[in-house]
Amino acid sequence: QSVLTQPPSASGSPGQRVTISCSGSSSNIGRNTVNWYQHLPGTAPKLLIYDNDQRPSGVPDRFSGSKSGTSASLAISGLQSEDEAEYYCAAWEDSLNGHVLFGGGTKLTVL
């Protein structure tokens, strides 16, 4: 069971804005930055957001990230059919000598 908690599913219609939450604790999100991944079946995950709110080159500005306290959120505006995918948050966990935690994933459905 993941220590980073995400809703198992989310949905929205084309053009809408959706948000996906990621809840952690003081030893992970509370002290470290959050990263977000988009994962399509049969492909490698793609880094969507790093350091809470930074987009790698090539990622559309429809994707944005934020963090407050021990929680983080990914927002997708102007939803498109190709955004249908699994989304994961990830953060460094300081306990037990440190390790990376992934959230359980959120399946986004574009209606």
**Binding-site ranges for other proteins (CB under 8 A):** 2, 32-33, 35, 37, 39, 44-47, 50-51, 56, 86, 88, 90-92, 96-105
- Which residue, 14 or 60, is less far from other proteins as judged by CB? 60
Rounded least distance, CB 81 to other proteins, Å: 23
- First vs last C-alpha separation in the chain: 29
DSSP state of 45: -
Q: 69: Cβ–Cβ under 8 A, 6 or more apart, which residues?
A: 29, 30
Rounded least distance, CB 76 to other proteins, Å: 19
- Which residue, 50 or 63, is less far from other proteins as judged by CB? 50
20 and 8 Cβ atoms separated by less than 8 Å: no
Q: Supply the Cα-derived Rg of the chain in whole angstroms.
A: 13
Rounded least distance, CB 30 to other proteins, Å: 14
- Which residue, 60 or 78, is less far from other proteins as judged by CB? 60
Residues composing the chain: 111
